[in-house]
Amino acid sequence: MAESESLETITEHERILQEIESTDTACVGPTLRSVYDDQPNAHKRFMEKLDARIRNHDREIEKMCNFHHQGFVDAITELLKVRADAEKLMGQVSDTNRRLQDAGREVTAQTEEVIRCRIQQRNMATTVEKLQLCIPVLEMYSKLKEQLESKRYYSALKTMEQLQNIYIPRVSQYRFCQIMAETLPKLREEIKEISMSDLKDFLESIRKHSDKIGETAMRQAQQHRTFNSAVQKQVTLSCAKPLYGLNGRTPLHHNGLSTEHHRAQNKHEAPYFSPGYGFPVNRLFELLFEVRDQYNETLLKKWALVFRDIFEQDNYSPIPVENEEEYKAVISRFPFHDAEIEKQQFPKKLPMSQSVPQIYSQVKEFIYASLKFSESLHRSSTEIDDMLRKSTNLLLTRTLSSCLQNLIKKPHIGLTELVQIIINTTHLEHACKYLEDFITNITNVSPETVHTTRLYGLSTFKDARHAAEGEIYTKLNQKIDEFIQLADYEWGMAESDGRASGYLMDLINFLRSTFQVFTHLPGKVAQTACMSACKHLATSLMQMLLDTELKQISMGAIQQFNLDVIQCELFASSEPVPGFQGDTLQLAFIDLRQLLDLFMVWDWSTYLADYGQPTSKYLRVNPSTALALLEKMKDTSKKNIIFSQFRKNDRDKQKLIETVVKQLRSLVNGMSQHS
């Protein structure tokens, strides 16, 4: 019986020990209580059993420690070896952190300065824009004051009308314009009162001197009749004698009078300067021709100012027409016909800006002014036609062309204005044939005449358009450079942000909106501008990646740069300007794409094996370019050389980079020797 109890006790103790070993310490109390609740002196036997179990575990622990002791000693030895390197690394990290903080502080200050400068630049641009709207108003008001002071009241009224109807409504939100608008009715009343007073004084003066004026007029009329009678008698007496004609030629006679004098009487015109006393007048005509040339030069200078004022006051936006009357008012001043626009409902916009009909009208005014002087020379219609065409050619090729070239080069003329200038010159070029018809109508000389001079307006406007196109390409590249300057890559980043950089998305949005305006340009200008912009962007990105001042680039930075290039390629494939065939626009980024693919895939074996073959996957990757970028990544890997010696993958990558660098250098040296 006692032996049976002992076996049961031992079994119970084993169970209790297993529960103690496997049960949470918070639940051990009830288990231990069962030991003392059992048979008397059972706890002593349990303690013996517990001591035996402890000794067994101690032996197992000692055996395990003996088994792992050598590895622990080796680990401690390795750790002691690394301690020196760790201290060195800590010093390098501290120094690098200090230098990084110093550099970052300077970069942060420069970034804040750039942001502040950008804000100032934007404010200045806004101020300049507002001032450009306000300055013409102030200039016109100053002109009005000068006209009032010089008592040119009619001109003052015209200026006042322009101020009230054209200039002030553009900037009516400003207080000084409101004050001007309130002042104009008062000035108009003052002009009215002063004019009435002057009129009364003039009438009173005429009343006082009317007797003397009548006496003088009658006396001069009598002298004129006496002079005409004497001239008629002189002609009658010399009817049988040949008279010297102009330029030494003898005119024909008809019924005793020269044909020139007879033709003048029939047309009620003044005759040629006849010798109507026997003296030659060749030098007089030479003097008149010199005066004509000087007069034309004066006209050209005057119209240069007129053209400049027109260009300065133009808003360089399509002309809006609200109704049929406004539409007819525009086409009455400029020969414009477009079937598509005529079908549109009002309100609508005409493609050219306000300066086009104004320039066209002023050219016609110049022709009238030149004609008025040429008519007094009493030349033939063919000669007058030739004079007008030559004068008009000078106006177009010298004066207007110079004004257009100066306008295009002005700094405040942006991309939108340049686009409008190109459209304007296209319409002016089409209107040249109407100017030739205009000259033909007023001189009655057929354009098929052998000696008829053609107008050179076509070449003038083509040259101006080409200059504007070149300026568009230049300004577009300048805007791209401004966005590129805002790039702030973290060239040592561990991994990319997963999205494209903000500066690049802003740049693409700018290009997209700009090219929407370019679709109105004629010919291939829009396609050329788009291709030029994409090539310039690709070149700028490549230069940024290969900049000699950039010493280190991580794979994370390459990945981030790749995301930006992908956005550029998506923009090129979205056909921002119609007319490109296939992937022509995407080819602008092909050099960047192949270079980034090579580094992203790390496909050096394929590149080196296929180098020089026309079917190579990386045909556009130059070895010197790849070497320069790989050197930057090699420098980055050196920073982690302390830890990389314990990682097999990093050691293998270092060896691969060293091997590829050597092979690339051999390729570069081979290229230089071959060249």
Predicted pLDDT of residue 675: 54
Q: Indicate the SS3 state at residue 147.
A: helix
Question: Does residue 572 share a domain with residue 450?
Answer: no
One-letter identity of residue 451: H
Query: Which of residues 441, 470, 499 is at a domain's end?
Result: 470
What domain range includes position 60? 1-115
Distance CA 195, CA 199 (A): 6
Only one residue has tokens 């050179």, namely 456
In angstroms, the Cα distances linking 628 to 224, 393, 547 are: 99, 58, 9
Question: Does residue 570 share a domain with residue 439?
Answer: no
Question: Does residue 564 share a domain with residue 455?
Answer: no
Only one residue has tokens 């204005």, namely 417
Residue 416 or 213, more confident: 416
Predicted pLDDT of residue 302: 93
Q: Average pLDDT in the 118-135 region?
A: 85
Question: Does residue 425 share a domain with residue 318?
Answer: yes
* Average pLDDT across the chain, whole number: 81
Helix (H) or strand (E) holding 254: strand 253-254
Predicted pLDDT of residue 382: 82
576-593: per-residue pLDDT in tens?
Answer: 988 888 888 999 999 999
In a domain, 230, yes or no: no
| Structure tokens belonging to residue 381 | 């219609």
Question: Does residue 669 share a domain with residue 589?
Answer: yes
Question: Does residue 436 share a domain with residue 357?
Answer: yes
Nearest to 557 by CA among 640, 662, 487, 642: 487
Question: Does residue 341 share a domain with residue 449?
Answer: yes
Q: Are 542 and 527 in contact (CB under 8 A)?
A: no
Question: Does residue 534 share a domain with residue 463?
Answer: no
Query: Which of residues 91, 115, 139 is at a domain's end?
Result: 115
In a domain, 265, yes or no: no
| Structure tokens belonging to residue 72 | 């622990």
Q: Are 507 and 483 in contact (CB under 8 A)?
A: yes
Q: Are 248 and 282 in contact (CB under 8 A)?
A: yes
β-sheet bridge partners, residue 349? 320
In angstroms, the Cα distances linking 234 to 237, 249, 276 are: 5, 21, 9
Helix and strand element counts for the chain (H, E)? 24, 4
Residue by residue, DSSP assigns 318-379 as PEEE-SHHHHHHHHHHS----HHHHHSPSSEEESS-THHHHHHHHHHHHHHHHHHHHHTTT-
Predicted pLDDT of residue 461: 87
Question: Does residue 400 share a domain with residue 298?
Answer: yes
Distance CA 273, CA 277 (A): 11
CATH number of the domain to which 547 belongs: 1.20.58
456-501: per-residue pLDDT in tens?
Answer: 777 888 889 899 999 999 999 999 999 999 898 999 888 888 899 9
Query: Which of residues 63, 87, 115 is at a domain's end?
Result: 115
In a domain, 223, yes or no: no
49-67: per-residue pLDDT in tens?
Answer: 778 888 888 888 888 888 7
Predicted pLDDT of residue 229: 73
Nearest to 519 by CA among 425, 419, 428: 419
In a domain, 20, yes or no: yes
| Structure tokens belonging to residue 120 | 């100032």
| Structure tokens belonging to residue 270 | 């003044």
In a domain, 189, yes or no: no
- pLDDT exceeds cutoff 90 at 508: yes
Predicted pLDDT of residue 649: 61
Only one residue has tokens 């291709």, namely 531
Q: Indicate the SS3 state at residue 549.
A: coil
Query: Strands 253-254, 348-350: parallel, antiparallel or unpaired by DSSP?
Result: unpaired
- pLDDT exceeds cutoff 90 at 6: no
In a domain, 414, yes or no: yes
In a domain, 222, yes or no: no
Predicted pLDDT of residue 183: 87
- Check residue 253 and report its DSSP letter: E
Question: Does residue 334 share a domain with residue 428?
Answer: yes
Nearest to 537 by CA among 583, 584, 479: 479
CATH number of the domain to which 427 belongs: 1.10.357.30
Q: Are 388 and 439 in contact (CB under 8 A)?
A: yes
Predicted pLDDT of residue 271: 38
Q: What is the 3-state secondary structure of 618-669?
A: CCCCCHHHHHHHHHHHHHHHHCCHHHHCCCHHHHHHHHHHHHHHHHHHHHHH
Cα-atom radius of gyration of the chain, to the nearest Å?
Answer: 48
Distance CA 590, CA 621 (A): 9
| Structure tokens belonging to residue 20 | 């103690």
Predicted pLDDT of residue 533: 94
Nearest to 599 by CA among 640, 653, 651, 543: 653
Distance CA 624, CA 630 (A): 10
Q: Indicate the SS3 state at residue 585.
A: coil
Q: Are 315 and 417 in contact (CB under 8 A)?
A: no
What end-to-end distance do the CA atoms of the chain give, in Å? 110
Residue 72 or 542, more confident: 542
Residue 26 or 630, more confident: 630
| Structure tokens belonging to residue 109 | 């200050």
Question: Does residue 539 share a domain with residue 466?
Answer: no
Distance CA 480, CA 86 (A): 47
Q: How many domains does the chain have?
A: 3
Count of residues making up the chain: 675
Classify residue 572 by burial, with Cβ atoms within 10 Å: 0-12, 13-18, 19+. buried
Residue by residue, DSSP assigns 460-485 as HHHHHHHHHHHHHHHHHHHHHHHHHT
In a domain, 412, yes or no: yes
Q: Is the peptide bond before 347 cis (omega within 30 degrees of 0)?
A: yes
- pLDDT exceeds cutoff 70 at 529: yes
237-277: per-residue pLDDT in tens?
Answer: 544 444 333 333 333 333 333 333 333 333 333 334 444 64
154-206: per-residue pLDDT in tens?
Answer: 888 888 888 888 888 878 888 888 888 888 888 888 888 888 888 787 777 77
Residue 428 has a CB neighbour count (10 Å cut-off) of 27
Distance CA 474, CA 165 (A): 38
213: Cβ contacts below 8 Å, ≥ 6 apart? 206
Question: Does residue 588 share a domain with residue 448?
Answer: no
- Dihedral sign for Cα atoms in the order 80, 85, 87, 93: negative
Distance CA 471, CA 408 (A): 7
Distance CA 115, CA 668 (A): 42
